Amino acid sequence: MHEVGIMESAIDAVLRQARAHSARRVHRIVLRIGALAGVEPDGLRFAFDVVTRGTLAAGAALEIEAVPARAYCAACDADFPVDGGFIARCPTCSALSADLRSGRELELSRIEMT
Ligand SMILES: [Zn+2]
């Protein structure tokens, strides 16, 4: 399950920050996950429990912000929602666009610690 590897690097980054701030405990971690990032929130939650065990982040709340996928149509000068895939078709003018503006996010958005 590749969610474990993703979560390991996320928690590595969290623990590095926690140490840098001499934190005693991490309370909440917010991840931004794009709809096309290719990871399952359930998989991430499971991985989170496993990876944080015995660390400063054990028992912390994991919040996942889902980012919808959107592509940009140059002809319409507008964003439109994307269901999946790498090429999207503009619902207004039917032009094809590979200009994905959001949906691949896989990032640490916020960490709360004391
Ligand atoms: Zn268009």
Alpha-carbon separation of residue 86 from 32, 83, 89, 107, 110 (angstroms)? 20, 10, 10, 20, 28
User: Residue with structure tokens 């709809």?
Assistant: 35
pLDDT at site 83? 84
Instruction: Assess whether pLDDT exceeds 80 at residue 5.
Output: yes
Distance between Cα 99 and ligand 1 center (Å): 12
Residue from 39, 3, 15, 7 nearest 111 by CA:
15
The domain containing residue 107 runs over which residues?
Answer: 2-69+103-113
Distance between Cα 79 and ligand 1 center (Å): 9
Domain-located, residue 86: no
For 11-66, write each residue's pLDDT tens digit: 999 999 999 999 999 999 999 999 999 999 899 999 999 999 999 999 999 999 99
For the chain, what is the domain count?
Answer: 1
Q: Domain with 15 in it: what CATH number?
A: 3.30.2320.50
Distance between Cα 51 and ligand 1 center (Å): 44
pTM of the predicted model as reported, rounded to 2 decimal places: 0.84
**Tokens, residue 67:** 């980012």
Domain-located, residue 57: yes
Domain-located, residue 27: yes
C-alpha triplet 42, 17, 59: angle, nearest 5°: 40
Distance between Cα 90 and ligand 1 center (Å): 5
Domain-located, residue 74: no
Spell out the residues 6+ positions from residue 74 whose beta carbon is closer than 8 angstroms to its own.
95, 97, 99
In terms of pLDDT, which residue wins out, 54 or 85? 54
Instruction: Assess whether pLDDT exceeds 70 at residue 1.
Output: no
Distance between Cα 72 and ligand 1 center (Å): 8
Q: Identify whether the C-beta of residue 113 lies closer than 8 Å to the C-beta of residue 52.
A: no
Residue 106: CB atoms within 10 Å:
17
- pLDDT above 90 covers a percentage of the chain that reads 90
